[in-house]
Amino acid sequence: MSSPRANHQDPVAAFRRADRLLSRHRPLEALDALRPVLDAHGPDEPGDASVHLLAGRAYLDSAQLRKAEASFVRVVEIDPADHYARFALGKTLQRQGRLGEAETQLKIASAMDPRPEYQEALGEVRARIALAPDRP
């Protein structure tokens, strides 16, 4: 087990530990490891986009969708050209049933980088919108 000093005083070590935990499908532990890094920035400070992106992924993987959304929005505010953050935000909005908003983010992500997974996600959202019973 790593020392408390590595987790609480060294933000790089905490980030790496959180990334490893998330890759092992342990999002709650990843968030615990990342907490000191997240807490180091005040609410008005943007912080590092990579930290918020990792937190967003962990929140999404642990079904904390509002927190995931806030993290991905923060990344997009810091770096509007981050296509992955827009993709992840779109997926988060989709899981919340906010399909129109999800479609917008997925369209932007797909336009920035036409990766197959972005295109598939966009197609899925569009299909769900088309099949929605309350569609005008």
Main-chain dihedrals φ then ψ at residue 10, nearest 5 degrees: -105, 100
Mean pLDDT, residues 54-81: 97
Instruction: Report which residue type is found at 90.
Output: G
Question: Higher confidence at residue 43 or residue 50?
Answer: 50
Instruction: State the average pLDDT over residues 46-63.
Output: 92
DSSP state of 26: -
| pTM for this model (two decimals) | 0.86
> Is the pLDDT confidence value at 3 over 50?
no
Q: What is the pLDDT of residue 122?
A: 98
